[in-house]
Chains A and B, each alone.
Chain A
Amino acid sequence: MADNMLVTYGVPLVLLILSPFIGGILIGIDRKVTARLQNRAGPPIVQPFYDVLKLFGKEDKIVNKTYLVFGSAYFLTVILSLGLLLFRYDLLITTFTFGLSFIFLVLAGYSTRSQFGYVGATRELMQMLTYEPILLFTVFLVRLVTGSFEINSIYNAAQPLLFALPLALLAIFVILPIKARKSPFDIAEAHQEIAQGPETEYSGKFLGLLYLTHFFELFFILWFVGLFYVKDLPVAGFVIPGIAMQVLLMLIAYVFLIVVDNATARLRVDQMLKQVFILGMILLILNLAYIIVTGRWIA
Chain B
Amino acid sequence: MSLTELARKKSPWVIHVGSGGCNGCDLEILACLTPRYDASRFGVVSTGNPKHADIMLVVGPVTLKYKEIIKNLYDQMPDPKVVIAVGTCASTGGIYQGCYGHCGSVDRVLPVDVYVPGCNVRPEAVIDGLVLALDILNEKERKILEDKRSKAKGAA
Interchain CB contact under 8 A, B78 and A50 = no
* A56 contacts B by Cβ under 8 Å: yes
The A-B contact count (CB < 8 A) is 83
* A274 contacts B by Cβ under 8 Å: no
* B141 contacts A by Cβ under 8 Å: yes
Residues of A contacting B48 with CB < 8 Å?
Answer: 191-192, 195
Q: How far is A203 from B51 in the complex, measured between Cα atoms in Å?
A: 6
Please tell me which stretch of A40-48, A145-153, A166-174 contacts chain B, meaning at least 4 of its Cβ atoms lie within 8 angstroms of it: A40-48
Q: How far is A204 from B41 in the complex, measured between Cα atoms in Å?
A: 23
Please tell me which stretch of A58-66, A92-100, A217-225 contacts chain B, meaning at least 4 of its Cβ atoms lie within 8 angstroms of it: A58-66
Q: How far is the CB of B148 from chain A (nearest CB, A)?
A: 11
B interface, size bucket: 20 to 34
Q: How far is the CB of A280 from chain B (nearest CB, A)?
A: 32
Q: How far is the CB of A45 from chain B (nearest CB, A)?
A: 12
Interchain CB contact under 8 A, B41 and A54 = no
* A76 contacts B by Cβ under 8 Å: no
Interchain CB contact under 8 A, B40 and A201 = no
Residues of B contacting A200 with CB < 8 Å?
Answer: 49, 51
Residues of A contacting B1 with CB < 8 Å?
Answer: none
Q: A192-B48, A200-B49, A200-B51 are in contact. Are A40 and B40 (CB under 8 A)?
A: yes
Please tell me which stretch of B5-13, B88-96, B112-120, B122-130 contacts chain A, meaning at least 4 of its Cβ atoms lie within 8 angstroms of it: B5-13
Residues of A contacting B76 with CB < 8 Å?
Answer: 61
* B108 contacts A by Cβ under 8 Å: no
Interchain CB contact under 8 A, A57 and B8 = yes
Q: How far is the CB of B5 from chain A (nearest CB, A)?
A: 8
* A35 contacts B by Cβ under 8 Å: yes
Q: A42-B41, A191-B47, A200-B49 are in contact. Are A47 and B11 (CB under 8 A)?
A: yes
* B135 contacts A by Cβ under 8 Å: no
Q: Which listed residue, A42, A52, A54, A201, touches B51 by the CB 8 Å rule?
A: A201
Interchain CB contact under 8 A, B4 and A57 = yes
Q: What are the 9 tightest A-B residue pairs by CB atom distance, in nearest-first order?
A: A53-B7, A57-B4, A59-B78, A50-B10, A59-B79, A203-B51, A41-B41, A50-B11, A54-B7
Q: A40-B41, A51-B43 are in contact. List 4 more A-B contacts (CB 8 A).
A: A44-B43, A57-B4, A195-B49, A203-B52
